[in-house]
Structure 1
Amino acid sequence: MIFRRDIEGLRGLAVLLVVLAHAGVAQLPGGFVGVDVFFVISGYLITGLLAGQLKQDGRIDLWVFYGRRVRRLLPAFALMVTVSGLAAIWLLPASAWGLQADSGRWAALWSSNIYFASAEFDYFSPGASASLFLHTWSLGVEEQFYLVWPWLLWGAWRWRGRTGLAIACWTVAIGGYLLGMAATQVASWQAYYQTPFRLWQLAAGGAMCLTFGAIRLRSGPSRAARMVGVLMLLVAAVLFAPDRIVYPGAWAAVPVVGTALLLLQGDRGASFTWLEHPSVRFLGRISYSWYLWHWPLLVLFASCFGKSVEVGLISALVSLCVAWATWHLVERPALALPIGEGRRWVLAGLGGAVVLAFAGLGWSHAAAVQQPAGTAAPHPLLRTIAMPALYQRRDCDEWFRADRVVPCTLVDPPGEHRPTVMLVGDSVAAQWSPALEDVARRGQWHLVVLTKSSCPMVDHPFIYQRINRRFVECERWRDGVIAYLRQHPADLLILGSTADYPFSPQEWETGTRSLLTRLHGMAGRTLILAPTPLLPFDGPRCATSRVGQWTDAERQSRCSVDLDSVRDRVIVQRLQVAARGARGVRVLDLSDAVCPGGRCRAEDGGALIYRDGQHLNATYVRRLVPELALQPEFQALGR
């Protein structure tokens, strides 16, 4: 095949979009579409290679084909997996090992996309982003593409020659796109990770190669097509914020078509000189290594230094240097080795995958024991983690899988005409239930909790990243709560939500006001709990990491943050504005009690304050009982 400098530059653009988006650059929230660009390029090149073999020999030498794939991908990949695993054992607490071991083992078998899909990890969710090997899902898709595609093309060639190849590619591209759109509406995480719903993007590249690969457009049409292609990629990178659109779905056509247009060949006057610039081509040359290293280093840097754009950009620069070294010391020497008949490379690839997978099994066993390096037992702080009692009943919070309203009575004192306190909200509202239980027992009040995780007390639709679609179950659940309150009014209604929702300040205000209007007359008084400050790091992980390396003073410094930097004053102000027009409604901000002295800490006095990055530990919440009991709404219930 003819080497094309513009395609090498296009690889550089794709990896740059991915890395900057992962680093947290706010102007490129949709940079993850760079992976779609890679898919189209791979389909274009691989299909061209296989079609050339079929045209020349009438067959495909599978040993050589797979041997080349192994020689190209395995050496750098095996190095990344091994080094990342060792770094995780050294830098991450044992509580994080389980996820790393499981995802690493599946990554070693080139099937981590199946793991993340079966575990229902949304690509954009915090749970998935904690894995050092999340990015390998796309490599799994490509490897599975390599297993299927040669056979499909061979069958199409036997059926109708080159015409059969084109028909097969276009059929898979169009049919797969429609299938992916349907799958996104039903199970978006499956549509994002699984090969059957991504194969169309690689097939689209193959269709472009077979249909237009031998055609050179004249300068005018070629330049216009490429301008449109660049515009489509920029639109996707700038506007495709994961909290605003459902992806992949129909939107995936934008980066795919844009890439396809950039793959069109024009005459010399139609070339995009910036795509062929040496700096862009350099990024394209080391794009595989940079893609391999950028994510694990980003996760490790964030774990050690906190998550921020600055930390993300520094880790991206470090990973670029590591990628350059990997290209020179591993990738390029491996590509210079003779391929031979390919059998040895294929067997080496299978053996390497098995060895890495067995290493992951051993790591999984160590994770199950939960022993940080150099210690004989779990860190004492981890024993202080406690969950609210309501989670002992599975039906109290069915998350996104259901919309039914299940009242959970936590305090039910004997006697008649006891006041009823009702707590309604998401999991951050539910975190206050341990303290409210104590307050209710002291006052001999009924305490009923209506909770649905990730469902805000804001009457406004939103796309929930965990399921990558509009959270309609939340909307129906809120409607059910209002219907329940209409039949069972409360003496005191307490509403609460986290600040981590994709609402604009105006949507926070209008959505809260709308909900309060619908709740009018259903409670004697209403108390809105302001969102708890969010830590820029995982509290338990920070507090239990670097055992024997950080002093207590260093740990207190690294595992704390200024309240002013994490308190979302804008949301609190909007909640207060929404509450002004409603009778008997007040906003209560307990941030100063949660973060005394203006510092939000991971732990205090030998107990964890947060059980992750946003939820308070039930043990700590009970310390705040006096703060809650003194609020006028509770004082009024006792009269």
Structure 2
Amino acid sequence: MRLQTAFRRDVQGLRAIAVLVVMLFHACKTWLPSGFIGVDVFFVISGYIICSLIIDGKTEFSWSAFYWGRTKRIVPAYGVMLAVVSIVSALLFLPGDFLFFKRSLESAILFYSNQYFSDFGSYFAPGTYELPLLHTWSLAIEMQFYLFFPLLILFTPRKYLTCMLGVMCVTLFGYAEWSMRTQISHSDIYYSLIARVPEFLMGALVAITRVGHNWSTKVSNFVGWIGLILLAFSVFCIDEQNFPGVLSILPCIATGLLIAARTGTVSKLLSTDVFVWVGGLSYSLYLWHWPVLAFIRYYTERYELGDAGVLVFLITTFLLAWLSFRWVECPTRNSTGLLAKPMRLGALLTVIALIIIGSSALNEHIEKPLPIELTRYAPPEAICHGRIIGECLRGNRTEAIPVLVLGDSHAAQLNGFFDAVVRQENMAARVITASNCVPISGFDVDRIPEYSRADCRSQIAALAPYIDQATTIVVAAMWEWQASNSAFLHAFSNFLESTTKRNVRVVVLAQIPMFDFNPLRVRRFSELGLPIKVNKNKGWEKANNEIAEIVRRYKGAEFVDFSHSAFFAKAPFYSGTLIYMDSHHLNERGAYDYGLFSAPFMKPLFTTNH
């Protein structure tokens, strides 16, 4: 048995609106500040379509036909996208970045990427806008919804169904709102199936109640315009930080009204050929638009696309979507098509699996692997970054009161630096750091990414007794980011004042030069024959000057700047060796060489009385 429901041109046009607002939002958030609600529009439409499929054929419902239909609809085009993205990722991505991709790929294949991305967080992972499978979270939620939804509809007596779905909607919207405002992080609830289920159910309620079926054209026209206005309001005015939850009701109601208003002016507008054509491509457009954006941004290392980037994005996305629709979606939907039978679909998926598996070998053979010390700034298991491991000492461990070093990852990268500096002088340094965080009292922990907040708080607590005992403290950080926050500048000034009053020497190290591009990516893209230009970023110099001005206010504090020294004259290289691991961190070899270079200048700062 083949399950189907009546085709509605206006609903297809509504799909076009949904995918276009998502694409524009992802291309540039300032164009449509709340364009993310396009995904919620899709969820409501899916709830409506799937519920219509089930209740229209309830007396002869076939479980196998339902799930086979969903499989044919989603999996082939999805699998082809995963295979192509795997190949491109294998070519473009650095080995470390490709590991993050493979983990996301595993979750995407098994349709649980919503859970993977809800827990995703790593300082050295690519930015989320560079993750080509981030968008699969919504498809994962949709597939998870399909698993239980037929059970809910078929095993609930019809007379109770409307009431039960209504209660579930209110309860789950309320749960999402409560969760965001209490103990659950925003990413957890944003990617949560439970928070999104009521959006599907809103569409299901429209199908079950058959609202709008008996409306006059006048009523449909009025309701349609209300729905369109409400949807436009949602696209521009909803705050992403407070979404989903109660606010997600607005685009859901808007979508429900537009589906119900099937005979009005708005319905006719949505039914025009151009909207119907884009709506037909909407699934493939959604599949391809985000990987195209992610690859453009990974290659350029910029979020902003520029005019040329936008043009490349649109042309590439629509071309890939049309190819996917024409050669994958259409054949698999057609019951007599090439890929309709399970054996043929299985053969296609086998080819896709082989391509995905082979992508790992491809990634490793693009370029000769670098020695590990050129790809990291220190062995992560041997440094006190985000946690305390042993005594956190570098150099001579018999030194009574070691130099205390603290800061964010720009201090953590100096573990090798202090090995070189203090060992030459028979001294010791205790290095305690945390990602994104300068672990001093008063640091604004809530402004940094969620994944680093707990580590920041623990390192602040761990450092407190060492700060009280220290005679010399070295502070290093990515000043370009830290100095942009007024709360940090206030906390940093208080730290300098309280510390220097206790006759403690404070040495503040300047941020090292920062590039607008990852040198390791330059190396890889050069191997691929791709053109790339590397320039030094300008913001770090301004931030260094701002921090230096603050430090000069306190007697006993000194700002030390090697950023314009001979060591960085040919950065990201020194003596012909790559010394950077990314655009703003030294690698392990670079950190040690930096220490050897700086040791003669640092010795007086650690030994001279003041």
User: Which band: TM-score by shorter chain?
Assistant: 0.7 to 0.9
2:252 match: 259
Which one of the candidate residues 28, 43, 53 is aligned to 2:57? 53
Long gaps (5+) in structure 2: none
Q: How far apart are residue 21 of structure 1 and its match?
A: 3.9
Kindly state the Cα deviation for residue 431 of structure 1 after the two structures are TM-superposed. 0.6
State the match for 2:446 in structure 1.
Answer: 462
1:448 is the counterpart of 2:430: yes
Structure 2 counterpart SS, 1:560: coil
Residues 1:393 and 2:382 are matched in the alignment? yes
CA distance in 2 between partners of 1:96 and 1:138 (Å): 23
User: How far has the Cα of 1:387 moved from its partner?
Assistant: 3.2
Quick check: 1:138 aligned with 2:133?
Answer: no
2:352 to 330, 349, 356: 356
Other-structure match for 1:622 = 592
Distance in 1, matches of 2:492 and 2:91, equals 45
In 2, are the aligned partners of 1:405 and 1:480 still within 8 Å (CA)? no
Name 2:535's counterpart in structure 1.
561
Which of 29, 42, 46 is residue 42 of structure 1 equivalent to? 46
Tell me how far 1:619 sits from its aligned partner: 0.8
In the alignment, structure 1 residue 295 sits paired with structure 2 residue 269 = no
Q: Deviations over 1:226-247 (max 9, x none)?
A: 42332123123xx43xxxx3x7
Superposition pairs for residues 113-512 of structure 1, below 5 Å?
113-116=114-117, 120-121=120-121, 126=126, 130-156=130-156, 160-161=157-158, 163-180=159-176, 185-186=183-184, 189-210=187-208, 213-214=211-212, 216=215, 217=219, 223-224=225-226, 226-236=228-238, 239-240=239-240, 245=241, 251-264=244-257, 265-266=260-261, 271=266, 282-310=277-305, 312-326=309-323, 329-330=326-327, 333-334=330-331, 337-338=334-335, 345=341, 352-353=348-349, 356-357=352-353, 359-364=355-360, 366=361, 371-373=364-366, 378-380=368-370, 384-388=374-378, 391-393=380-382, 396-398=384-386, 408-412=392-396, 414=398, 420-456=402-438, 459-465=443-449, 467=451, 472-473=453-454, 476-477=457-458, 479-480=460-461, 483-485=464-466, 487-497=468-478, 499-500=480-481, 505-512=485-492
Question: Cα RMSD (Å) of the superposition?
Answer: 4.1
* Structure 2 length-normalised TM: 0.81
Pair 1:336–1:44, CA change in 2 (3 A)? closer
The alignment partner of 2:302 has SS state of coil
Aligned position for 2:527: 547
Q: Which AA in structure 2 matches 1:477?
A: S
- For 1:309, what is the secondary structure of its paired residue? coil
How far residue 154 of structure 1 moved from its aligned partner, in angstroms, is 0.8
Q: 3-state DSSP class of the match of 1:134?
A: coil
Contact 2:107 2:113 in 1 (8 A): yes
| Rounded Cα–Cα distance in structure 2 between residues aligned with 1:188 and 1:485 | 35
Q: Report the Cα distance in structure 2 between the residues aligned to 1:491 and 1:483, rounded to whole angstroms.
A: 14
Aligned-partner Cα distance in 2 for 1:213–1:594 = 75
Structure 1 counterpart of 2:166, which letter?
W
> Structure 2 CA distance, aligned partners of 1:26 and 1:536?
23
8 Å Cα contact 1:563-1:600 kept in structure 2 = no
CA positional deviation for 1:445: 3.0
Contact persistence 2:476–2:508 (CA under 8 A): yes
The secondary structure found in structure 2 opposite 1:302 is helix
Aligned partners of 1:95 and 1:541 also within 8 Å: no
Q: Where in structure 1 are there 5+ consecutive unaligned residues?
A: none
Deviation at 1:424, TM superposition (A): 1.0
Distance in 1 (CA, whole Å) between partners of 2:8 and 2:561 is: 60
Cα distance change on mapping 1:347 and 1:332 into 2, 3 Å: closer
**Matched residue, 2:73:** 72
Distance across 2 between alignment mates of 1:2 and 1:515: 69
TM-score (norm 1): 0.78
Query: Shift of the alpha carbon at 1:140?
Result: 1.9
Alignment size in residue pairs: 593
| Alpha-carbon contact 1:169-1:203 (below 8 Å) kept | yes
- The answer to whether the 8 A contact 2:513-2:537 is kept is yes
Q: 1:387 to 1:600 in 2, by over 3 A?
A: closer
Q: Distance in 1 between matches of 2:41 and 2:554?
A: 51
Do the aligned partners of residues 186 and 358 (structure 1) sit closer, same or farther apart at CA in structure 2, a change above 3 Å counting? farther
Q: In 2, are the aligned partners of 1:294 and 1:315 still within 8 Å (CA)?
A: no
Q: Which moved more, 1:262-271 or 1:145-154?
A: 262-271
Equivalences for 1:596-635 in 2 at 5 Å? Answer: 596-597=568-569, 601=572, 603=573, 607-625=577-595, 628-629=598-599, 634-635=604-605
SS in 2 for 1:317: helix
Structure 2 distance, partners of 1:232, 1:542, is 41
Match for 2:607: what amino acid?
A: L
Seen in structure 2, the aligned counterparts of structure 1 residues 108 and 62 have a Cα distance that, compared at 3 Å, is: same
Which of these residues, 582, 592, 608, is aligned with residue 564 of structure 2?
A: 592
Q: Deviations over 1:518-558 (max 9, x none)?
A: 656456232334444554444323313453646xxx6xxx2
The one-letter amino acid of 1:72's match is R
How far apart are the structure 2 equivalents of 1:371 and 1:542? Answer: 16
Letter in 2 for 1:271: V
Any conservation in 2 of the 1:408–1:449 contact (CA below 8 Å)?
A: yes
CA–CA distance in structure 2, aligned partners of residues 463 and 363 of structure 1: 38
User: Residues 2-32 of structure 1: CA distance to partner in whole angstroms, max 9, x if unpaired?
Assistant: 6555544443343334334433555556544
Sequence identity percentage: 22
Q: Identify if the C-alpha distance between structure 1 residues 139 and 581 changes in structure 2 by more than 3 Å, giving closer, same or farther.
A: same
8 A contact 1:539–1:559 mirrored in 2: no
Match of 1:22 in 2: 26
